[in-house]
Each structure stands twice: as C-alpha cells, then as structure tokens.
C-alpha cells in the first residue's frame, strides 16, 4: 500500500530537518576530519550524477584536508545507495549524494523502503539542479513547442516518446508536459538514458527529454532539435533555447536536483562544517565553469532551504503520479 502525500511530507520533513547527536559517537567537530571520507553515489559511474559527485569530492576533499573517496552503489532508483548510507555510523565519514528522484519520487512507487526515512538521514545542503531538454529529430515538421503541441493533438496516441524508464525523470517530465498541454502520446520506456537516446536518434521514438550534458553537443551538431529546456531559466550553453515555460507551458519545471546527506546522529558541528565547505566549493569560479558547461545550475544553501524545496517536490510529483495513475511495471 502506497503512503499518503501527507505521510510522505511528514517523512521528508524529518529526513531533511533532524540533526541529532549520538553520545556513542565522540567525533570532535573542531578536529574533524582526521581520516578519508567516503561519498556514496547511488547511481552508476559515468553518468551526470557521478560526474557531479566526483568534482565535489575532489574540491571538498582539498578544502577539508582529507581525500573523499567515491563509491558507486546503483539500483532501484537510488534506494540501494540510500540503504547503504542508512546503515552507516553517524561519525561524519560517510556522505550521500542524493537526488529528488530518490527522496521525492521513489517513495510514491516503493511502499516498503529498505530504510527509515524518518530516522536514518540528515540533510547537509542543496547542491543544485540539472535541467533536461525536450528534443525531436531535425526532420520533424514542428520547429517550436507550440507547433509540436498542435501536431501531437492532431495525432492523439500516435506519437511515441522515449524515456529512461517508468518513474524516471524523463518519464515524469513528459507526463507533466502532457498533463499541462492536454496532449496524449505513447510511452516507450528503456533501461536507461543511453538506450532511450539511441531510440530517439534512430527514429524509434519521435520525442524525448534528454539530459543537458548529453543533449547539448547533439543539438549543436545538428543531430537533435531543442524545443525547450525544463528548468526555470535558460541554459547558458544554449542561450537561444527558451524554457518550456517561455515557449508556452506556464509554470513548467522539471529538473533533477542534487544535495548532500549524512547518516542520522552525525554530530551537528560536523554537519555544519561540511555544509560550510560545500557552499564554499559551489562558489568557486572554476567549479562553476566546469559544472556549468555540463548544464548544472549550482545553488547551495542551508539545510532548511533544502527541506522547504523537498517538501514542495514531494507534493508536486506525488500529485502527478496519482493523477496520471503511474505505477511501476
């Protein structure tokens, strides 16, 4: 049985707001850190989340004076990596790079998660977000979003869109677009973003949301046409591509957001120390340039800011999933 939206919001508040100390853990924030830290990334190596995590691990490690070693533990929409960190000791030496697809979306699909969201994590801070690009092949007659919507309405249920899988960000972004515009298309899920992109490029699907880091070179190379970006602001690397909100879908926003977590009972002083270092790194011009080229919009901020954002994300996607009757296969 799925959790209610009210219950999920309560869980997320606890997940992001509780910073408890454990007398059994005698870590001293003034001396922290004294040995290497591990960063668990609950996604496969080589993807955009992995790239982000490794950049942050390098720079934060230098700032803290110890190595931050990345461990990839992928599977089940990130919940396997979350479970790994939930079992870790709250001594300040385990970080988790989490995404909204796990803490705000996965709970609506998994009724029995392998960890307790209320007690097992504490938020460190928001990192930023990565928008997607609504893409079609250059040969499609529709050259703008408005033209595409008109075209899709003329062929209800005939156009196919590719996604990285049921419940993934590219799937839910398209469900949100269809919900707002009133169009109806056939969903063709694949096992990841790479095969979904291959299907789109090969003409097996007519449209799809593609991560900016992957779509950018293909758009500039003339292999894909961009109809709009999924964030609230234009992407610096594609300044002529409007946001979908600008292009005629007011209020549209669908991004993958990123933040750092630590196990519950991590001492508050250590959490504050890591948050300070995180925000310092996110203001580094070299980091901004490096990650900006990949489409990341860096924000930073305090744990409370992340908490408020997560509450809104959980409600937004939970409502959409319920309205569109989306279930895992």
Whether 16 has a pLDDT exceeding 80, the answer reads no
Q: Are strands 207-211 and 255-263 parallel, antiparallel or unpaired?
A: unpaired
DSSP 4: P
Q: Which residues sit opposite 263 in a β-bridge?
A: 121
Q: Each residue of 283-293: pLDDT tens digit?
A: 999 999 999 88
Residues in CB range of 296: below 8 A, 6 or more apart: 48, 52, 128, 129, 130, 258
At residue 23, the pLDDT reads 42
Integer Cα distance of 36 and 205 in angstroms: 46
Q: Which residues sit opposite 128 in a β-bridge?
A: 258, 298
Integer Cα distance of 195 and 175 in angstroms: 19
Integer Cα distance of 127 and 310 in angstroms: 13
Question: What CATH number does the domain located at 5-130+256-323 have?
Answer: 3.40.190.150
Whether 27 has a pLDDT exceeding 50, the answer reads no
- Does 5-130+256-323 match 131-229 in CATH topology? yes
Write down the domain spans for the chain. 5-130+256-323, 131-229
Residues in CB range of 238: below 8 A, 6 or more apart: 133, 212, 216, 219, 226, 229
Mean pLDDT lowest among 18-22, 192-196, 232-236, 295-299? 18-22
pLDDT averaged over every residue in the chain: 89
Among 303, 329, 315, CA closest to 16: 303
CATH topology of domain 131-229: D-Maltodextrin-Binding Protein; domain 2 (3.40.190)
- The stretch 218-230 carries a mean pLDDT of 96
Angle formed by the axes of helices 193-201 and 212-220, nearest 10°: 20
Mean pLDDT lowest among 6-20, 127-141, 142-156? 6-20
Helix/strand/coil percent split, the chain, to 5:
40, 20, 40
Mean pLDDT lowest among 16-30, 33-47, 189-203, 222-236? 16-30
At residue 4, the pLDDT reads 58
């Amino acid at each position: 049985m799925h959790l209610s939206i009210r219950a999920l919001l309560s869980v997320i508040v606890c997940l992001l707001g509780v910073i408890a100390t454990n007398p059994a853990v005698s870590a001293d924030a003034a001396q922290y850190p004294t040995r290497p830290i591990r960063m668990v990334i609950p996604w496969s190596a080589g993807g955009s989340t992995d790239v982000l995590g490794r950049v942050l691990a390098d720079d934060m490690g230098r700032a803290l004076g110890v190595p931050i070693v990345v461990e990839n533990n992928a599977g089940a929409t990130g919940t396997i990596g979350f479970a790994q960190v939930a079992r870790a000791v709250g001594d300040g030496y385990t970080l988790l790079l989490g995404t909204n697809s796990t803490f705000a979306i996965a709970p609506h699909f998994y009724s029995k998660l392998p960890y307790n969201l209320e007690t097992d994590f504490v938020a460190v801070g928001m990192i930023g977000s990565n928008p997607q690009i609504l893409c079609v092949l250059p040969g499609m007659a529709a050259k703008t979003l408005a033209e595409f919507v008109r075209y899709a309405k003329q062929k209800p249920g005939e156009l196919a869109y590719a996604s990285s899988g049921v419940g993934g960000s590219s799937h839910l972004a398209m469900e949100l677009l269809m919900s707002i515009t009133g169009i109806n298309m056939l969903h063709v899920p694949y096992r990841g973003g790479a095969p979904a992109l291959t299907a789109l490029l090969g003409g097996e699907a007519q449209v799809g949301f593609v991560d900016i880091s992957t779509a950018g070179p293909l758009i500039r190379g003339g292999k894909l046409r961009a109809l709009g970006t999924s964030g609230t602001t234009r992407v610096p690397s594609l300044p002529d591509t409007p946001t979908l909100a600008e292009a005629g879908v007011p209020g549209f926003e669908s991004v993958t957001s990123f933040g750092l977590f630590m196990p519950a009972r991590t001492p508050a002083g250590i959490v504050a120390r890591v948050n300070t270092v995180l925000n310092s790194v996110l203001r580094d011009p070299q980091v901004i340039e490096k990650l900006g080229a990949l489409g990341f919009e860096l924000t930073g901020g305090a744990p409370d800011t992340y908490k408020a954002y997560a509450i809104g994300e959980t409600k937004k996607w939970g409502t959409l999933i319920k309205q569109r009757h989306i279930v895992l296969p």
